[in-house]
Amino acid sequence: MSTEDQNDRLFKALGHRLRRQILDLLKGEPRTTGALCAAFPEVDRCTVMQHLGVLEEAGLLIAKRVGRERWNHLNVLPIWDIHERWIGAYAAYAADRLGKLKLELDA
């Protein structure tokens, strides 16, 4: 799979509010699928499972079976890759521009 295809999957996964909420829950600790379903009582289990599948396909979630339970772990590496490619470079550029503007205003 190409990097661009992986990026498309990643941004698609991040594009849905419920999937972002799931990732927010997983930031604190790994959770079972049952616990994630219980966290969203307004959504049926099948829908939560579909969202987990999208997150797993995008590489944002790693699922491991322990006995009868499926534990879901956040994988932060794809998010770090986004930061390195998109956010870090633009933030550095913006900070540089703001620094130059401050110097001009102070002069």
pLDDT tens for each residue of 23-37: 999 999 999 999 999
pLDDT at 67: 95
Q: Determine contact, residues 7/57, Cβ cutoff 8 Å.
A: no
CB 64 within 8 A of CB 73: yes
Name the architecture of domain 1-75: Orthogonal Bundle (1.10)
Report which of residues 6 and 40 the model is more confident about: 40
How much is the pLDDT for 31? 98
Cα dihedral angle (7, 11, 14, 17), rounded to 10 degrees? Answer: -160
Q: What pLDDT score does 6 carry?
A: 84
The pTM (predicted TM-score) of the whole model is 0.79
Q: What is the pLDDT of residue 1?
A: 65
What are 46-104's pLDDT values in tens digits? Answer: 999 999 999 999 999 999 999 999 999 999 999 888 888 878 778 878 888 888 888 88
